[in-house]
Each structure stands twice: as C-alpha cells, then as structure tokens.
Structure 1
Amino acid sequence: MEAQLESVMVRAGVPGPVGALQRLSGGANMESWLFACGPDSPAAPRFVLRRAPSAEWIAARPLNMAGEAALIRHAFAGGVTSPEVVAELASEDGLGIGFVMRCLPGTADPEIALASGQDLAIDLAQAMARIHALDAAAVPFLPRLEPAEGVEGLARQFAEAGGDRPIIALGLAWLRAHLPPAASPVVVHGDFRIGNLMVDQGRLSGVLDWELAHLGDGHEDLAYGCMAVWRFGRLDRRGFGLTDIETMANAYQAAGGEPFDPARFRFWLVYRTVWWALGCLSMGQSWRAGTDRSLERVVVARRCAEQELDLLLLLEGDAPRAEQDRALPPAPVPPVTGQGEPSAAEILTAVSEWLAATVKDRLTGRERWELAVARNALGIVQREMAGRPPVADRALADDLLSARATLSTPGLLADLRRRALSTLAADMPKYPALSSARTLWEHL
C-alpha cells in the first residue's frame, strides 16, 4: 500500500517516501488511513487517505467521492476551516475510491472536544454559518433535500426495514404532521457534529466527513449536532454538548447565519433522530448484502434502540399530562440463572473477559478498537440470550403511522417507554440517556 500511495503523492507534487501508515479507528462509513510522506524524519508532513469500503457501497450514496472532494475544495477556498485535498485516487492506483488530504492538527476525540467549552462552541457556530454561506451554484452536483420528500424517503426506508418498530412509526407520523414551510436552500454539511470536528488546543481546526452534504435547510446542521447521541453523555448541554442551544443559535446568527426558528429546529431534530435510527438498521442490511462485512456494521445496527429512546424523549411532551404521568407497566422478568451448567450467555461473558485479560494489551490502534467492538458484540448476544424482549410489532406500527393510535391513546406512551428501556438495556446498556430516562420514567 505504501508504494501505491507514493505514486499518488508524486502525482500530487509531494514526493515520498511514504511511511508510518496506520488505519484510524473512527468513521462509521469511510476508511481513513494516516501516513507520513516526505524526507525520512519525524517531521515529515502527514496526510490522510479517505476511501470508500467498496465500490458497491459508494454507488448507493447520493454524493460520490469525487463530488465530496470537489465540495471540500470549494469549502476550503471559501474560508471554511476544512482539510486541503491534495490528490484524488485513480483506478490505476489500485487503492480503491477516495482522495488524500493534508492532516490537520489536533484530534477528533469527543472527550477532548467536549472539554473545550464556549470558545469551541462559538467556532462551530461560525463554521456552520460559513458553510451555509458557500455559493451553492458552484456545487450543482449536490442533492437537494426538501422536508416532505425527505420524510417520504424515510417512510420508504422504514417499510424496507420491515415497518415494524412502533417508536420509529410514531416519529414518522409526527414528521408528516409538522412539515415546516419551504426554506431558501443552502449548502448543508449533513454530518456536522462532535466526532467529525478536529479540535486543537480547544479551538476548531477542521470540519471533516462531508459525505452527507446536500442543499437544504441550515437548521438541519444545527439540530443534528444537538442530538443526544452526538453529545456523548453531556445531556445537560444541549448545544453540541458544549453549551445551551440559545448560545449556539445566537453565535450562529452573529456569524451571518439566518435567524433561529424553534419550530424548524425541532422538526430537524426529530427528522435526523428518525434518520439515524433507520441508518443504524441499514448497517445490518449492508452487512447482509456483502457491501461491507465489517463487524462494526452489525454492532451499529443495534444502536437503533438508542435513537428510539431519544425519539420518545423528544415527542413525549406532546402527550396529555395524564399519559405523561402514567406509571410504566412491569418490566419483563429475566430468567433465573446461576444454577447447574453455565449457560450459553455465561460462556459468551467468559470469552469476552478472556479477550480483555489476554488479548487487549497485545493490540494497538485500530485492532484494539476492533477488539472493543467485538466484545460489545458478544455482550449484545449475551444479553439477548438472557432475555431481550421482542422489538417488532407491525400492527402497532401501522396504527401509529395511520394515526389510529397516538400519544393520546390511554397507556400507549407508558408501553412505548417500557419497550424503549427494555430494548436499550439489552442492546446498548451504557448509552448515557438510558440511566436518566429510567430515573425519569420508573419513578412516576
């Protein structure tokens, strides 16, 4: 791979040698490889190869990688704090589909970003405003997202995924009933959140991962970064995990962004929560279809339960007060364990513990991260075997989609709350919002 990259870099005007090649652990979709290129010394410039996991995978995306590279170049030239693209891969390179960027200073580690505070929040607001001010006419290849078309696209995706998750159906019904008025289209990053933003000494050093960019409503970027899942446990700071939403909105407006509209913000917050729930489910289908057979795909698919919980927290305030105050039905009773021969679930736990004690310290970088994913996968299977409740309920989902059932239906909200808690406890028990939701709901 180093020799192939050296040819690419010569074409970019940066002669090798290439060294210190390592795959980075982040990225739910694309591969990222860090490498040095230049004189053989510690000070050699560093670059990042960004490429698709397969040609089949990228073919299904609205924006191909050539378009992503062109957009990043446009953003860089327009003053957005973003990477500099130095080369695009060609078929004769033998490296797949992608491009090479200069490595930015800092890190995308959420823990470091979330410790940065108000200065970073202002930087993010300004970066969003600059992105939304880019000349859309210069990137005519970007797809356009209209709210009504987007919602119906989600509905089709839901049907293709089985159409049997009631909380997602509730979200789709809400979206159909709360479509916002048309907005002047701007360039929307589409994945603007903690984890996709490089931070250096508490300040923004670069906006990464432009693969979901499109033309649409700028409120979508603001809402997406405020989703609970991208606040990584900072549930008390709804503005990107750094501050409050009002501060983010004011900073965005001060930087030239449009006035904040709470109704549009809420629509896109619900929309992207439904979108990510379905996106998680699609990861499993991608694995089944063979377009990406990585272990990460099947594990991320189980993160749908996180978004179902968040979606219910976003919508439950629309229910009558009597339903909001209704006690939850009893939790499922787990099977009795600890007698006789070890169960299959206990054996899985033993394997996971052995991996942590014996293998973990032998691994570094991407392999160590993949081991954590593997142990997470073993835990999911172990908890499912121990008694994960059924998640599919096509009849209830149909009733919610058609509004035959709503949050005013007696007992429905309490039932959905219990389903969300039980499913998430089996799939992703460490999700930060689970503990707070359990405290909120189980003490009614």
Structure 2
Amino acid sequence: MEALLEAVMRRAGVPGFVSGLQRLSGGANMESWLFACGTERFVLRRAPSPEWIAARPLNMAGEAEVIRRAHTAGVAAPEVIAELTAEDSLGIGFIMRCLPGTADPESALSSPPELANDLAQAMARIHTLDTATLSFLPRLDSAEGVEALACQFAETGGDRPLIALGLAWLRANLPPPAKPVVVHGDFRIGNLMVHEGRLSGVIDWELAHLGDGHEDLAYGCMTVWRFGRLDKQGFGLTNIKTLAKAYQAAGGEPFNPARFRFWLVYRTVWWALGCLSMGQSWRTGTDRSLERVVVARRCAEQELDLLLLLESEAPETERARPLPPGPPEPHAATGEPTATEILTAVSEWLAATVKGKLEGRERWELAVAQNALGIVRRELTARANPADRALANDLLTGRQTLTTPGLLAGLRARALSTLSADMPKYPALAAARTLWEHP
C-alpha cells in the first residue's frame, strides 16, 4: 500500500517515501489512514466499498469538491491534494493534508470557552458558502426528509415504537420551508479538530447538503454527541442561548427555537435509523466489520433520547405514573456454566491475554469485540424486546399518543431495559433512571 500511495503523492507534487501508515480508529462509515510523506503528514480518506458509496447521496468526488470550496472560502477545512483514480488501485477516496490537533472528544470538551465561539463562527461561515457553486449537493427539504425517514423505518421492520413516536411528532410539527444554505451535516464534537484549545479544522464532510442551517446547530447538541456533558446542551461546551448568540454574531441567521427543536428530534430519529442500517450493511456484506453490528445496537441510545425530548408533551398524570413492574431477578446459577458465564469468561480471557499484545486500531477493535460480547451476555439475562409492530403502527397513525393511559410508562420501561442491555454506559441512561424510577 505504501508504494501505491507514493505514486499518488508524486502525481500530487509531493515526492518522497511513505512511512508510518496506520488506520485511524473510529469513524462510523469511512476509512481514514494517517501517513507521512517527506516531512509532512497526510490522511487518506476512502470508502469501505464501491457498493457502500454507490448508495450515498454525495459521492467522494463531491465530498472532495465541497471541502476544497470550503477551504478556499476560509473555513477551517483540510486541503485536498489528490483524488484517487481506478489506476491507483487504492479504492475510492482522496488525500488531504493532516490538520494539527486531535478530534478526540475529551480534548474538545476540556477546552476553554473560546472553542464554543470558534464552532459558532465555523458554522456561520459554512452556512454562507455560495450555494450556486455547490448546486451538485443533495438538497434536504424537511417534509420530504421526514417521509424518507418513514420509508427507511418501514424498510428496517417498522416495529420500534419509540422511533414511530418520533416520526409521528415530526409529521405534526413540520417547520415552514427555510432558505437553503450549505449544511455540513455531521458538525459535532468528534468531527472537529482541536489544537491547543482552539478549532483547527472541520472534517468528515460526507453528509454535506443544502438545507436548513438550524440542522447543524441541532445535530451537535444531541445528547449522544455531548459525551456525558448533560448539563451543557450547546455541543457539550455551553448553553443553547450562548451558542445561538455567538452564531448570530458571526453572521448566522436568527435563532428559531421551534426550528431548532424540530431538527433536534429529526436528527435523533435519523441517527436511530442510521444505527439500524449498520446492521443491514453487515447482513448484506456491504461492510462486514464487527463495528457495524455493534453500532446497530446504539439505536437504543437514540430511542431513550427521543423519549426524553418528547415526554414533556404528555399530560402530568402520565408523567407521574410509575413504571410497570420489571422482570424478576434471575436466580443464581448452579451446575454447568451458563451461556452468560461462558461469554464472561471469554471476555475476561481477551482482556487478560490478548489486550496487552495489541495497539492502535487492533486494540480498539478488541474493545469493540468485548462490547459485542457484553451486549449478548446482557441480552440473555435482562433485555425486553424493543420491537412491537402493532404499537408502532398505532403511534404512526395516531391511534395511540402520549395521552394514552399507561403508554408513557410502558415506553419508559422499554427504553430502560433495551439500553441497559445494549449500551449500559450511555450517560443519559443513569439520568433517565433517576428521573423515571425515583420521581
């Protein structure tokens, strides 16, 4: 692979030997490879497979072009220096100069308050890019987007009541059409490079499109992208009012709370369905990585967040209703080891014997494998079935709503059980337990 990269770099006018090639961990979709050439560092970004990229609204040539235009317009975006061709034998993708700093969430979330202003300014600058020169970008209309989500929901089984609740709310709360701007589409902690406490770059532009700028504002404020900072809804760095004020001061449009709430719910439903689609990618062989099946179980995180977002619209009597009784505690095991115990033994062996021998992405993949074993272990003992097609249909059609006696309490119990098995370390889970089990 190094020799192939050296040929591409020579074509880009950067001769030298390639060294230090390593695949970066993380990234739900694309592959990212860090390497050095001469005295500089670069990143190869490529699609996991031709089938995967063929299903995306924006191809990699389009992603490279929007990054170029953003970089030229003064957005803190990487510099694209080469696009791969079939003759390069490296797949589909492009090469960028490596930005200084790190995308590690902990680094961003421990930064000084100025970082929140940097993010607001970067968003505002992206939203003022010339849409005429980026007309090749896909366009997202709110009404069409909701119906596309409904179709995706049906394709994934149409049987998750909490997602159906979110879809019904979106249909009932469509905002007026907005003047389209360039939307990054994945603007959040984890896709923002931070160097010495300040923003050094915006990466991962694969979801860029034309749409409502409030979508970017809302997406980065989702609970999942605040990495445990539950008290700071503005990207885990500040509050919404301060973030919106900084965004407007930087040239962004006036903040509209109703529009913001719509997109917050929309992107929560979108990511719930996106998680489920990861499992389908694995089933079809489009991407057979272990990460896909594990990320699919993160749907439960978004279902909990949806309920926390929407339950305020239920009557007070329903919000005060106690949870229904849970399943009985399992008896202590005796005799031969249970399947749960065998899985525990395998996980402990991996940690004691294998972990110390791995580093980089392989060590990260081991953590994913141990997470997968934990999901199966907990499912065997205490996971309610999150699927209920009849209830989902009732919620979509309005036959049941948050005013239905007992519905909210049942949905709360379902969300707690599913998430406790699938992703028990999700920060919002403990907060929800406190709120719902001890009102």
TM-score normalised per structure 2: 0.99
Partner in structure 2 of residue 416 of structure 1: 411
8 Å contact kept, 2:150–2:167:
yes
Q: CA deviation at 1:343?
A: 0.4
2:20 aligned with 1:20: yes
Match for 2:129 among 99, 112, 134? 134
Larger CA deviation: 327-336 vs 290-299: 327-336
8 Å contact kept, 2:64–2:80:
yes
Q: Where do 1:427-442 residues align within 5 Å? A: 427-442=422-437
Larger CA deviation: 169-178 vs 325-334: 325-334
Partner in structure 1 of residue 395 of structure 2: 400
Q: Where do 1:246-265 residues align within 5 Å? A: 246-265=241-260
Match for 2:102 among 92, 103, 107? 107
Instruction: Return 5+ residue gaps in structure 1 as ranges.
Output: 39-43
Larger CA deviation: 170-179 vs 328-337: 328-337
2:164 aligned with 1:169: yes
Q: CA deviation at 1:333?
A: 2.1
2:281 aligned with 1:286: yes
Partner in structure 2 of residue 365 of structure 1: 360
Match for 2:176 among 175, 178, 181? 181
Partner in structure 2 of residue 356 of structure 1: 351
8 Å contact kept, 1:136–1:215:
yes
8 Å contact kept, 1:306–1:431:
yes
Q: CA deviation at 1:276?
A: 0.2
Partner of 1:330, secondary structure, is coil
2:86 aligned with 1:124: no
CA offsets 1:13-59 (integer angstroms, 9 cap, x no match): 00021001000002110000000001xxxxx2000000000000000
Structure 1 Cα separation of the partners of residues 26 and 329 of structure 2: 35
CA offsets 1:334-387 (integer angstroms, 9 cap, x no match): 422332211011110111011111111111110000000000000001111123
Match for 1:379 among 354, 374, 389? 374
Structure 2 Cα separation of the partners of residues 136 and 258 of structure 1: 16
Count of residues paired in the alignment: 439
CA offsets 1:232-271 (integer angstroms, 9 cap, x no match): 0000100000010111100000000000000000000000
CA offsets 1:297-318 (integer angstroms, 9 cap, x no match): 0000000000000000000000
TM-score normalised per structure 1: 0.98
Structure 1 Cα separation of the partners of residues 172 and 332 of structure 2: 47
Partner in structure 2 of residue 41 of structure 1: none
Q: CA deviation at 1:72?
A: 0.1
Counterpart code for 2:104 = D
2:61 aligned with 1:61: no
Match for 2:82 among 56, 81, 87? 87
Match for 1:225 among 212, 220, 224? 220
8 Å contact kept, 1:197–1:206:
yes
In the TM superposition, structure 1's runs of 4+ consecutive aligned residues that sit over 6 Å from their partners are none
8 Å contact kept, 2:382–2:417:
no
CA offsets 1:141-199 (integer angstroms, 9 cap, x no match): 10000000000000000000000000000000000000000100000000000000000
Instruction: Return 5+ residue gaps in structure 2 as ranges.
Output: none
Q: CA RMSD in A?
A: 0.6
2:203 aligned with 1:200: no
Partner in structure 1 of residue 267 of structure 2: 272
Partner in structure 2 of residue 77 of structure 1: 72
Q: CA deviation at 1:417?
A: 0.3
Structure 2 Cα separation of the partners of residues 87 and 119 of structure 1: 33
Partner in structure 2 of residue 153 of structure 1: 148
Q: CA deviation at 1:331?
A: 1.7
Partner in structure 2 of residue 313 of structure 1: 308
8 Å contact kept, 2:273–2:299:
yes
Structure 2 Cα separation of the partners of residues 387 and 422 of structure 1: 7
Structure 2 Cα separation of the partners of residues 79 and 110 of structure 1: 24
8 Å contact kept, 1:334–1:386:
no
8 Å contact kept, 1:65–1:97:
yes
Structure 1 Cα separation of the partners of residues 358 and 112 of structure 2: 33
Counterpart code for 2:191 = N
